[in-house]
Amino acid sequence: MEAINACPHHGFDTWLLVSYFYDGMSSSMKQLLETMCGGDFMSKNLEEAMDFLSYVAEVSRG
């Protein structure tokens, strides 16, 4: 979310940015993300997706 907030003038919808992020992942990373979130990540609403990505980022930092 920090990167999104750092450039608020870009004009892109947040869900579109999440979609670009997901589309840029490798197949194995997409599969891992789907497994971790318990289903189809892209079917989540924006709040659920952002909360989950924040959780993954926090866990990844240790």
* Tens-place pLDDT, residues 3-46: 666 777 778 888 998 999 999 999 999 999 999 999 999 999 99
Helices (H), the chain: 2-6, 14-23, 27-37, 46-61
Domain that holds residue 51: 2-61
Q: Please state, in angstroms and rounded to a whole number, the distance separating the CA atoms of residues 58 and 62.
A: 7
Q: What is the pLDDT of residue 22?
A: 95
Residue closest to 4 by CA, chosen among 61, 58, 50, 37 = 50
Instruction: Answer whether residue 1 shows pLDDT above 70.
Output: no
Q: Whole-prediction pTM value? A: 0.76
